[in-house]
Amino acid sequence: MSLVQQPVGIIHTPYQQKFAIPRQPGLVNSAVGIIQFLPQFSDPNMLRDIEQFSHLWLIFQFHQTTEQGWSPLVRPPRLGGNKKTGVFATRSPFRPNNMGLSVVEFVKVVYQQGKLALHVRGMDLLDGTPILDIKPYVPYADALHAAKGGFAHSPPELMSVNFSALAKQQILHFSTQYPELQTLITEVLAQDPRPAYRTDSELDRVYAMSLYNLNIQWRVIDGCCQVQDIQKSA
């Protein structure tokens, strides 16, 4: 049996590459994403009453890793990136059917010139991710207070983040276009996006990530992230 799925829309997010995307939703709440519905799903009736729900589930395709396939065992970052566990005991993108599931905050619906868009906050999705379905988050059924979270029971520890004098000036320069840039960079780096498994030779490395059309470089100094340079991508 095979199933063919058609996305209802494509989400646009600040995250231009997989590296540095938060590993779950709700960790970087300054990040706003816009789901642009495909023409055949641009009927605003489809979103009637959705504003009654503060949060939504997004079902999506891990489209960028689909071709890499899957295996029964994966190495989740929460286990240090070096220990294997069963794919169905993880939220890894490398899974049969490559479907992802994220709860996000509802922001607003915009319907202009026949184009339907849904704005959300806090997603962990790459720019351009196909959205397969959207459902309201229903607290009485979905929030289970006695649930056990296995090896991912509590949120990851946060790193502190600071900005060099140069980076502070650059933030000011980009603030008209991206008013929440400093908060966004801080929240993203506080998650420590570096690969969980590292060798000592990587301690002094300069890391780079892209958010929107910006290339952001940082280093880890005495256990803190220091943002050093923010440039428009070439």
Please select the residue that binds ligand SAH; options are 10, 12, 23, 174, rule is CB under 6 A. 23
Q: Applying CB under 6 A, which part among 95-103, 107-115, 135-143, 202-210 lies near ligand SAH?
A: 95-103
Total residues at the site for ligand SAH (CB under 6 A)? 18
> Closer to ligand SAH at the Cβ: 167 or 216?
216
Contact status: 25 vs ligand SAH (CB under 6 A): yes
Q: Applying CB under 6 A, which part among 16-24, 135-143, 152-160, 210-218 lies near ligand SAH?
A: 16-24
- What string marks each residue from 46 to 85 as x (binds ligand SAH by CB under 6 A) or -? ----------------xxxx--------------------
> Closer to ligand SAH at the Cβ: 37 or 60?
60
Contact status: 89 vs ligand SAH (CB under 6 A): no
Phi, psi of 113 (to 5 degrees): 50, 45
* Residue 31 to residues 26, 104, 118, 183, 196, Cα–Cα distance (Å): 9, 10, 14, 9, 23
> Closer to ligand SAH at the Cβ: 16 or 170?
16
Contact status: 16 vs ligand SAH (CB under 6 A): no
Beta strand 129-136 pairing with 99-112: unpaired
Q: Applying CB under 6 A, which part among 94-102, 110-118, 144-152, 215-223 lies near ligand SAH?
A: 94-102
* Minimum separation from the CB atom of position 96 to ligand SAH (A): 13
Contact status: 210 vs ligand SAH (CB under 6 A): no
Q: Applying CB under 6 A, which part among 1-9, 19-27, 107-115, 221-229 lies near ligand SAH?
A: 19-27
CA atoms of 52 and 137, how far apart (whole Å) = 10
The residue ranges that bind ligand SAH (CB under 6 A) are 18, 21, 23-25, 62-65, 91, 93, 100-102, 124-126, 129
